[in-house]
Amino acid sequence: KQEVTQIPAALSVPEGENLVLNCSFTDSAIYNLQWFRQDPGKGLTSLLLIQSSQREQTSGRLNASLDKSSGRSTLYIAASQPGDSATYLCAVSHSNYQLIWGAGTKLIIKP
Amino acid sequence: ETGVTQSPTHLIKTRGQQVTLRCSSQSGHNTVSWYQQALGQGPQFIFQYYREEENGRGNFPPRFSGLQFPNYSSELNVNALELDDSALYLCASSVGTGEVYEQYFGPGTRLTVT
């Protein structure tokens, strides 16, 4: 059974710092991995999608890496800003229709 | 904005009642998936509909049912509501049902069962 874990559960850092969020999964037979952002009481915004054949994806200040063999992904946020404060979730596509999710990392960027 | 809309935004129901949640897919998308997100947790997959047929189901009881219409909009129905059904319900649409198709999420419906 695929399980997705995100560490840490919460993180608070000063504005301007670079930071790394971690995601691990137990079954390496994934099709892709996605990172999402969720603002309080809101839906999900897709940030980056990494196909199983890829090693990383970049979008602006965000960089996500994928190591299937070790069951790990990281989301790197450069030069953090208060507007980056949100909960970040990772999800793996384990079949052709189902996403399996971690519980998220709640990120607070202090001005 | 993803183009996926959900209604209503918030809903309060009493235990034992029935509820219908609605989702309008992004234009050109023929697949919709529904997820339940309890407070402080990641979403849990409920089921997926592809071209009006159920295409896969997570570990949810039969009182959770769905429909997809010819215009690919969708409904989630929950009968005999329980307190644990209180959650954010998210729908996501995609161009197809394969793993290569990215899912686009709506803003969700917050259901409170008292």
- Mean per-residue pLDDT for B106-113? 95
Reported as type and span, the H/E element at residue B88 is strand B87-94
Give the tokens for residue A54: 């890829």
Q: What is the 3-state secondary structure (H, E, C) of chain A?
A: CCCEEEECCEEEEECCCCEEEEEEECCCCCCEEEEEEECCCCCEEEEEEEECCCCEEEECCEEEEEECCCCEEEEEECCCCHHHCEEEEEEEECCCCCEEECCCEEEEEEC
Q: Choose the mutation target among B34, B35, B99, B101 for the interface with A, i.e. most A CBs under 10 Å.
A: B99
Distance CA B92, CA B108 (A): 9
B residues 34-53 closer than 8 Å to A (CB):
35, 40-45, 48, 50
Give per-residue pLDDT as tens, B50-88: 889 998 899 999 999 999 999 889 999 999 999 999 999
Closest partner CB to A98 (pick from B41, B45, B50): B45
Give per-residue pLDDT as tens, B5-28: 999 999 999 999 999 999 999 888
pLDDT of residue B100: 64
Question: B106 in contact with A at a CB cutoff of 8 Å?
Answer: yes
pLDDT of residue A98: 81
Which residues contact residue A31 at a Cβ distance below 8 angstroms, ignoring those fewer than 6 apart?
A: A51, A52, A92, A93, A94, A95, A96, B99, B100
Please judge whether B42 and A104 are an interchain contact, meaning their C-beta atoms are less than 8 angstroms apart.
yes
Question: B103 in contact with A at a CB cutoff of 8 Å?
Answer: yes
pLDDT score of B98 more than 90: no
pLDDT score of B108 more than 80: yes
Please judge whether A43 and B106 are an interchain contact, meaning their C-beta atoms are less than 8 angstroms apart.
yes
Please judge whether A93 and B108 are an interchain contact, meaning their C-beta atoms are less than 8 angstroms apart.
no
pLDDT of residue B53: 92
pLDDT of residue B99: 63
Please judge whether A102 and B42 are an interchain contact, meaning their C-beta atoms are less than 8 angstroms apart.
yes
pLDDT of residue A26: 95
Amino acid A108 reads I
pLDDT mean values, one per 10 residues, chain A (111 residues): 93 96 94 92 86 94 96 97 97 81 96 93
CA distance A90 to chain B (A): 9
Mapping DSSP to helix (H, G, I), strand (E, B) and coil, where does residue B83 land? helix
pLDDT of residue A96: 61
Please judge whether A101 and B44 are an interchain contact, meaning their C-beta atoms are less than 8 angstroms apart.
yes
Please judge whether B56 and A98 are an interchain contact, meaning their C-beta atoms are less than 8 angstroms apart.
yes
Give per-residue pLDDT as tens, A38-66: 998 778 888 999 988 999 999 999 999 99
Q: For residue B96, what pLDDT band results from cuts at 50, 70 and 90?
A: confident
pLDDT score of B1 more than 70: no
